[in-house]
């Protein structure tokens, strides 16, 4: 399979990439790791006239702490995130989810920005940034805006990015002390996209009462789903199996997943509840173990 013809640009700086994007607007696409875009081109599901390759822009490749958050540049390879001690220390949820993205060969090329901008409804990173109430930084020539994760993923494979904007950074806020997290998923084979995935984040006070809980799910809707009602029933309660069971029920009841070739809607709803219960228990265990 061959892609339709396109003009290839390899700008050496972010400013030049943004200028090209403004010039070509709707007819252009950014090329990051190419792990999703190249198949789309080859199947002729995308037909951009211009490809703007971001791989020669080293300023978009970084992992650092910034103002209480872990900041990850859009062109940071998924494998670099997976191997980063700083990510493990400052954002264990991201560290846990990263190895679940495809196979390591894909993560060697695939980027954090590419995964978030592609917004696959079964991808792990959109659920992670949503559960943590993180944000995405978008740049256009002469301007920048910070988009909260809840508003970034707007529909199937669609984000709030405008045609002349590039995603330049993902921000994962560091959870407060006495927080724990877990990411669990079910997929048919190792490396496949998840049928259902759950990111859980909890915070407990000194007395062992839940002061915060967040559950974000992947694979059960066109965008990541925040199970807000389930989180609400947990806060103010002790983290008991009964409380997790009640939250898991709310998760299942609140979902309206589509059925497809891989799983029925009922199966997805059931698995989402089971994973939510297990993820909550694991997240709470981490607090006991002193993890952040």
Instruction: Report strand pairing: 50-53 vs 28-31.
Output: parallel
Smallest distance from ligand FAD to CB 86, Å:
20
- Which lies closer to ligand FAD via its Cβ, residue 116 or residue 243? 116
Alpha carbon 199 to its chain centroid, in Å, reads: 10
- Which lies closer to ligand FAD via its Cβ, residue 183 or residue 193? 193
Give the number of other CB atoms < 10 A from CB of residue 138.
Answer: 23
Cα separation, 180 vs 78, in Å, equals 22
Smallest distance from ligand FAD to CB 102, Å:
3
167 part of the interface to ligand FAD, by CB under 6 A: yes
- Mark 13-52 with x for binding to ligand FAD (rule: CB under 6 A) and - for no binding: ----------------xxxxxxxxx---------------
Q: Which of 10, 106, 246, 291 binds ligand FAD (CB under 6 A)?
A: 106
- Which lies closer to ligand FAD via its Cβ, residue 247 or residue 271? 271
Cα separation, 92 vs 182, in Å, equals 8
- Which lies closer to ligand FAD via its Cβ, residue 104 or residue 209? 104
- Which lies closer to ligand FAD via its Cβ, residue 97 or residue 283? 97
Q: Which helix (H) or strand (E) holds 17?
A: helix 14-24
Using DSSP's 3-state secondary structure scheme, residue 292 falls into coil
Q: Strands across the sheet with 50-53, in order?
A: 7-9, 50-53, 28-31
Where are the extended beta strands (E) located within 141-250?
143-148, 153-155, 158-159, 166-173, 179-186, 196-204, 210-218, 225-226
166 part of the interface to ligand FAD, by CB under 6 A: yes
- Which lies closer to ligand FAD via its Cβ, residue 45 or residue 209? 45
Considering only the stretches 6-14, 114-122, 170-178, 204-212, report the one whose residues sit in contact with ligand FAD under the rule CB under 6 A: 114-122
Instruction: Report strand pairing: 153-155 vs 210-218.
Output: unpaired
Cα separation, 73 vs 292, in Å, equals 23
Whether the Cβ atoms of residue 220 and residue 252 lie closer than 8 Å to each other = no
Size of the site for ligand FAD (CB under 6 A): 28
Whether the Cβ atoms of residue 280 and residue 202 lie closer than 8 Å to each other = yes
139 part of the interface to ligand FAD, by CB under 6 A: no
101 part of the interface to ligand FAD, by CB under 6 A: yes
184 part of the interface to ligand FAD, by CB under 6 A: no
- Mark 189-218 with x for binding to ligand FAD (rule: CB under 6 A) and - for no binding: ----x-------------------------
74 part of the interface to ligand FAD, by CB under 6 A: yes
- Residues in the site for ligand FAD, rule: CB under 6 A? 29-37, 54, 74, 101-102, 106, 110-111, 113-115, 117-118, 120, 123-124, 161, 166-167, 193
């Amino acid at each position: 399979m061959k892609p339709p013809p396109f003009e290839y640009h390899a700008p050496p700086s972010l400013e030049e990439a943004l200028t090209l994007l403004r010039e070509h607007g709707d007819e252009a696409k950014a090329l990051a790791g190419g792990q999703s875009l190249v198949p789309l081109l080859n199947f002729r599901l995308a037909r951009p006239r211009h490809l703007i390759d971001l791989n020669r822009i080293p300023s978009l490749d970084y992992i650092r702490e910034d103002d209480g958050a872990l900041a990850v540049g859009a062109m940071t390879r998924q494998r670099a995130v997976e191997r980063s001690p700083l990510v493990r220390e400052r954002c264990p949820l991201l560290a846990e989810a990263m190895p679940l993205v495809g196979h390591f060969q894909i993560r060697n090329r695939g980027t954090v920005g590419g995964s978030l901008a592609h917004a696959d409804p079964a991808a792990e990173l959109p659920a992670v940034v949503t559960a943590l109430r993180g944000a995405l930084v978008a740049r256009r020539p002469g301007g920048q805006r910070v988009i909260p994760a809840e508003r970034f993923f707007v529909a199937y494979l669609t984000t709030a990015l405008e045609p002349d904007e590039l995603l330049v950074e993902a921000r994962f806020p560091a959870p407060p002390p006495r927080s724990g997290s877990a990411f669990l998923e079910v997929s048919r084979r190792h490396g496949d996209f998840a049928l259902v995935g759950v990111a859980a984040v909890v915070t407990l006070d000194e007395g062992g009462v839940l002061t915060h809980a967040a559950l974000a799910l992947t694979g059960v809707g066109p965008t990541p789903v925040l199970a807000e009602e389930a989180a609400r029933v947990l806060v103010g309660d002790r983290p008991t199996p009964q409380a997790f069971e009640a939250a898991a029920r709310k998760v299942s009841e609140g979902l309206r997943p589509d059925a497809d070739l891989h799983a029925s809607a009922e199966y997805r709803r059931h698995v989402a509840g089971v994973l939510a219960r297990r993820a909550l228990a694991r997240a709470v265990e981490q607090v006991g173990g002193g993890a952040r």
